[in-house]
Amino acid sequence: MRLLHTMIRVGDLQKSIDFYTQILDMKLLRKKDYPEGKFTLAFVGYGDEKENSVIELTHNWDTKAYDMGNGFGHLAIEVDDVYRAVDSIKENGGKILREAGPMNAGSTIIAFVEDPDGYQIELLGPK
């Protein structure tokens, strides 16, 4: 068994694709419209789906925004250098929620960024 993908619903598909590909440097792996269901699926990630877990961006054509709810926490991405990643995200127009620094009650360096729909993404350095 292996984790294939995490699905999140997005209000503006192109804005989300741009965020994940241009700001977080993922690749758009595939995208398909489903006219009868009035939705589009786009898969983004850092590598081929055969070997990597990816993010499924689901855009329901008639929905422009979603309530975040209180059950979802965040996605986590490992980066080589959290401080440099935060600087790059800022330079590319990304929204930083928590600057890079040690986590509360620990020494792991983390930061948080927010995608266009308000989903939080934690950046962590390698272990």
- Indicate which residue of 49, 51, 114, 122 is catalytic: 122
Q: What is the pLDDT of residues 11-37, one digit of tens each?
A: 999 999 999 999 999 999 999 999 999
How many Cβ atoms from other residues are within 10 Å of residue 121's Cβ?
21
Average pLDDT over residues 55-78: 93
Q: What is the pLDDT of residues 72-109, one digit of tens each?
A: 999 999 999 999 999 999 999 999 999 999 998 888 99
Instruction: For residue 122, indicate whether it is catalytic.
Output: yes
Measured distance CA(31)–CA(74) in Å, rounded: 23
Buried b (16+ CB within 10 A) or exposed e, 32-63: eeeeeeebbbbbbbeeeeeeeebbbbebeeee
Domains and CATH numbers, the chain: 5-60 (3.10.180.10), 75-124 (3.10.180.10)
Evaluate whether 68 touches 118 at the Cβ level (below 8 Å). yes
Three-state DSSP class for 40? strand
